[in-house]
A and B are shown apart, each in its own frame.
Chain A
Amino acid sequence: GQNIDQPTEMTATEGAIVQINCTYQTSGFNGLFWYQQHAGEAPTFLSYNVLDGLEEKGRFSSFLSRSKGYSYLLLKELQMKDSASYLCAVNTGFQKLVFGTGTRLLVSP
Chain B
Amino acid sequence: GAVVSQHPSRVICKSGTSVKIECRSLDFQATTMFWYRQFPKKSLMLMATSNEGSKATYEQGVEKDKFLINHASLTLSTLTVTSAHPEDSSFYICSADRPYSNQPQHFGDGTRLSIL
Q: Which residues of A contact B (CB under 8 A)?
A: 31, 33, 40-43, 45, 48, 87, 89, 91, 94-102, 104
Contacts and interface: CB of A to CB of B under 8 A. Distances in A.
Contacts, number: 49
Contact of B44 (A40, A43, A95, A104): A43
A102 B104 contact: no
Contact of B104 (A40, A95, A101, A104): A95
Contact of B32 (A95, A99, A100): A95
B103 interface: yes
- Sorting the interface of chain B by its residue count into under 10, 10 to 19, 20 to 34 or 35 or more gives 20 to 34
Nearest to A42: B107
A42 B93 contact: yes
A104 B45 CA distance: 17
Contact of B110 (A41, A96, A100): A41
Given A33-B104, A40-B91, A48-B102, A100 B43 contact: yes
20 contacts: A33-B104, A40-B91, A43-B44, A45-B103, A48-B102, A48-B103, A87-B43, A87-B44, A94-B32, A94-B49, A95-B97, A95-B104, A95-B105, A96-B46, A97-B104, A97-B105, A99-B43, A99-B46, A101-B42, A101-B43
A67 B32 CA distance: 30
Contacts of A102: 42-43
Contacts of A97: 34, 46, 95, 104-105
Contacts of A48: 102-103
Nearest to A104: B41
